[in-house]
Amino acid sequence: MVEQRNVDPDSPCIIQTAGLTKAFGVRLAVDDLDLKVMRGDIFGFLGPNGSGKTTTIRMLLGLVRPTAGSIQLFGQEQSQHLSQLLPRIGAIIETPVFYPYLSGLDNLRVVALRSGIPAGSRCDARLDEILTLIDLSARAKDAYRKYSLGMKQRLALGAALLTDPELILLDEPTNGLDPAGVHEMRELIRCLPQMGKTVFLSSHLLYEIQLVCNRVAILNEGHLLYQSTVQELLQREAQIVVRMNTHTESEQTWAYLQHLSQQEASWLHDIKREQDAQGNEVFAINASSARSSEITALLAQKHLYVAEIYQRRENLEDLFLQLTNMQGPSSSTANVRAPEDAQLGLHK
């Protein structure tokens, strides 16, 4: 039975689910999912293929009925007000389908007609505006079949934006694109909050979420593993790395840090001995960079002088693999970032 809750049409919360569950036979595709997406978010919905992302989006759009739980959109119960809510939503789900022999412009005209936008000067002005936004004005009269994959995805986003919706649901919008196409789509998505849009973006491209989104939820096998800001997720495992000059100093430092963690500095509770890429023994301390000077001062009081101290921050891929229990061998180069257009993904 789908639960009903009090509604608030003026709520800044654009999407809120409670206990959202979908079972296909004995298999739970989505299990007890609680999501909260605020107005103006670019919300990343991250998970490997088959984790339940597309099923969740289909439930949000009313294409799949939940087995249990509830959905609120714009502060209203989705199940009770779906016909009034859908015009406020634009979506790209999986592979968009257009007429291959029609031009990009004519395909948008078809979408406009089906969306209830009457033909005329206002419709033409809106089409021109959308084509400019998605950078297809120069190719608007070319047949859709001649478009690159990146152009097809931009046209799909244009179709989703045609009715000027408040909420945009994007299911793997950069899937299969080359680096140039990914960059173009990324820049389009980034500008949407400035136009008053809220974006719900599902992806398995970890680095893309890190670059584009301000908030993220991580899903695996239908279960919600994490939900917060991208910044908080990245800071969650920030580490200070300390290297001493000699093995003797390292032994003394290890003993002193253990003493401090038990007696004077409780924030030093998680310290690990590791080797860096050069084979030097180092101490990894889970703490923010603000603690670096404090650590240096504490060690200096015991005449232990640091050879090197720096902050190491794992990227979103490392954290995702840890959360989903798929972490491979630890790397001493975790602070090295991927190139800007790298597509880091998890594949079937």
Q: CA 3, CA 212: separation in Å to the nearest integer?
A: 33
Region for 40 from its dihedrals, namely left if φ exceeds 0, alpha if ψ lies in -120 to 50, beta otherwise: left
* DSSP codes of every residue in 191-232: HGGGGT-EEEEEESBHHHHHHH-SEEEEEETTEEEEEEEHHH
* DSSP codes of every residue in 148-184: -HHHHHHHHHHHHHTT--SEEEEESTTTT--HHHHHH
Q: Are residues 153 and 245 in the same domain?
A: no
Q: Are residues 207 and 129 in the same domain?
A: yes
Q: CA 51, CA 206: separation in Å to the nearest integer?
A: 14
Q: What would the two tokens of residue 40 be?
A: 């103006």
Q: What pLDDT is recorded for position 326?
A: 52
User: Which among 44, 15, 335 is positioned nearest to 186, based on CA atoms?
Assistant: 44
Q: Are residues 153 and 262 in the same domain?
A: no
Domain assignment present for 143: yes
The CB density around residue 347, as the number of other CB atoms within 10 Å, is 6
Render pLDDT for 192-208 as a digit per residue (tens, 0 to 9): 999 999 999 998 877 78
Q: Are residues 209 and 263 in the same domain?
A: no
H/E stretch holding 269 reads none
Contact 59, 66 (CB under 8 A): yes
Q: What is the CATH number of the domain that holds 20?
A: 3.40.50.300
Domain assignment present for 333: no
Structural domain total, the chain: 2
Domain assignment present for 348: no
Domain assignment present for 332: no
Alpha carbon of 338 to those of 132, 168, 344: distances in Å? 31, 28, 8
Domain assignment present for 61: yes
H/E stretch holding 332 reads none
Backbone φ and ψ for 65, nearest 5 degrees, come out as -85, 130
Q: Are residues 286 and 224 in the same domain?
A: no
Domain assignment present for 129: yes
Q: Are residues 296 and 248 in the same domain?
A: yes
Q: Are residues 308 and 263 in the same domain?
A: yes
Q: Are residues 202 and 248 in the same domain?
A: no
Q: Are residues 225 and 77 in the same domain?
A: yes
Domain assignment present for 330: no
> Which ranges in the chain belong to alpha helices (H)?
53-60, 78-85, 104-114, 121-133, 149-161, 179-191, 206-212, 230-236, 247-263, 292-300, 316-323
Alpha carbon of 331 to those of 45, 149, 239, 274, 275: distances in Å? 26, 35, 14, 10, 10
Residue ranges for the chain with pLDDT beneath 50: 1-7, 327-348
Render pLDDT for 304-318 as a digit per residue (tens, 0 to 9): 999 998 877 666 666
Q: Are residues 191 and 288 in the same domain?
A: no
Q: What pLDDT is recorded for position 313?
A: 65
Q: What pLDDT is recorded for position 322?
A: 67
Q: What pLDDT is recorded for position 209?
A: 83
Q: Are residues 22 and 44 in the same domain?
A: yes
Domain boundary among 234, 267, 295: 234
Domain boundary among 215, 234, 253: 234
Kindly calculate the radius of gyration of the chain based on its CA atoms and give it in whole angstroms: 25
Spell out the SS3 assignment of 62-85. Answer: CCCCCCEEEEEECCEEHHHHHHHH
Q: What is the CATH number of the domain that holds 247?
A: 3.30.70
Collapsed DSSP state (helix, strand, coil) of residue 268: helix
Domain boundary among 189, 207, 234: 234
Q: For residue 304, what are the domain limits?
A: 239-324
**Residue 316 buriedness (CB in 10 A; 0-12 / 13-18 / 19+):** buried
Q: What pLDDT is recorded for position 8?
A: 53
Q: CA 336, CA 65: separation in Å to the nearest integer?
A: 44
The model's pTM: 0.73
Q: Are residues 230 and 299 in the same domain?
A: no
